[in-house]
Amino acid sequence: MARIQIRKIDHLVLRVRDIDAMRAFYCDVLGAEHIGYRPKFAMSHLRVGDCMLDLVEAEKRGLPAPAAGGLNLDHFCFRVEPFDQEAIVAHLKRHNVAIGPIRDRYGAEGNGVSIYLTDPEGNTVELKGPSDGRPPPAG
């Protein structure tokens, strides 16, 4: 694999203070579809086209709540195809990129393996592989 091939944005995760108000705004005003709430992660999944927007109750997760006008993006995720985990990890290591947890996570296409990393300015980036075809996780 010469380089990573990004296909699209898979999902964005926003840290929120009032998840009900945010869910209502994105669903009722902007037309997103509420897929489900997962109490274990204090997170609602919203479908926006073929992508996802996740709302995370920051304080319930022990994360800093966004201040008025403050930044609230937790991370963004790129769907990578083809997703050759060994080749991607080797590529990142060649570029001296620290690699975070690699495990199955839920995204716009469903459950699948993903790799976390941090860009040079501290933004968390997730690289996501294809869905394993299983239904969305419960709770």
pLDDT tens for the chain, 139 residues long, are 578 888 889 999 888 888 998 899 889 877 889 999 999 999 999 998 889 999 999 888 888 777 766 677 888 898 988 999 999 999 889 888 889 999 999 898 889 999 998 877 677 889 999 988 887 777 6
Q: Which residues constitute the domain of residue 51? A: 6-128
134 lies in some domain: no
CATH number of the domain to which 35 belongs = 3.10.180.10
139, part of any domain: no
Q: Can you tell me the distance from the alpha carbon of 135 to that of 94, in angstroms, rounded to the nearest whole number?
A: 35
Residue 135, domain member (yes or no) = no
Domains identified in the chain, total number: 1
